[in-house]
Amino acid sequence: MQIDTSKPSVARIYDYWLGGKDNFEIDRIAADQLTKLVPDAVEMCRDNRAFLKRTVTLLAEAGIRQFLDIGSGLPTQENVHEVALGAAPDSSIVYVDNDPMVLVHGRALLSDAGHAWVVEGDIYDPGGIVAKAADRLDFDRPVAVLMLAIAHFVTDDAELSRIITELRAHLAPGSYIVMSHAFAGERTGDATVQGVQEVYAKSAAGGLTPRSREQIGGLFEGMELLEPELVPVKSWRTSTPPDYTKPTTIGVVAKL
């Protein structure tokens, strides 16, 4: 499987920020450019992982036994299967990504896992993702779909709405969608936003679009948003007060 090192990879940038070694110079250059623009980028990345742990634990304790992680990224500490299986040993987890390095490393990590699998899939093809995941998950029963730090790489609003609508059509009542999404910050200058967009435009992702809380919430119309609804991931069910003044990622857990 060919790994493209001519463009930065979102998964490898995150790996670098999390202290991993599965990244290349081109990824580190892009990551350093981003941290100059957004000094809290590494902290935001770690806050996102903590949000993953809290939400997966919450849903496993609520009775969810099936997890579909779209845009899973490179394996790191406290992956979805580790958290889910720690809370509910009978859970099943399917990871989805289209990055060749993610697929290779994920399959090597999970070769003996038994309850977790990696499939190749593209966020732009939710039906295809469900079809592949259906070999391991029963979509007639509730599934928790995780879309952490991935939806903002769908730069077109109408396209993102289509993806979420099609995905929801495959989910049984009682399913959940967990999302974290880039939020520019009320005091963030246009030059910073443009700079971040320019870096990601040169990556394999092709761009990034921060959205408002209203835009993010609109994706889940008709679903129940778990309290505290749309807040920075750092503040989702923690004692940290929400701060909307600077760049962050908004977390939401929505129940069908």
Domain at 10-255: CATH architecture? 3-Layer(aba) Sandwich (3.40)
DSSP state for residue 69 in the 8-state scheme: E
- pLDDT digit string, tens, across residues 26-64: 999 999 999 999 999 999 999 999 999 999 999 999 999
Q: How do residues 118-157 score in pLDDT, each as one tens digit? A: 999 999 999 999 999 999 999 999 999 999 999 999 999 9
In the predicted structure, residue 1 carries a pLDDT above the cut 60: no
pLDDT score at 111: 66
- Kindly report, residue by residue over 13-25, the tens digit of the pLDDT: 998 998 888 899 9
Best CA proximity match to 256, nearest among 216, 218, 222, 219? 222
d(CA 62, CA 113): 23
pTM, full prediction: 0.94
Mean pLDDT of 64-68: 98
Dihedral angle sign, alpha carbons of residues 57, 46, 252, 118: negative
Specify the pLDDT at position 5.
Answer: 78
**For position 182, what pLDDT does the model report?**
96
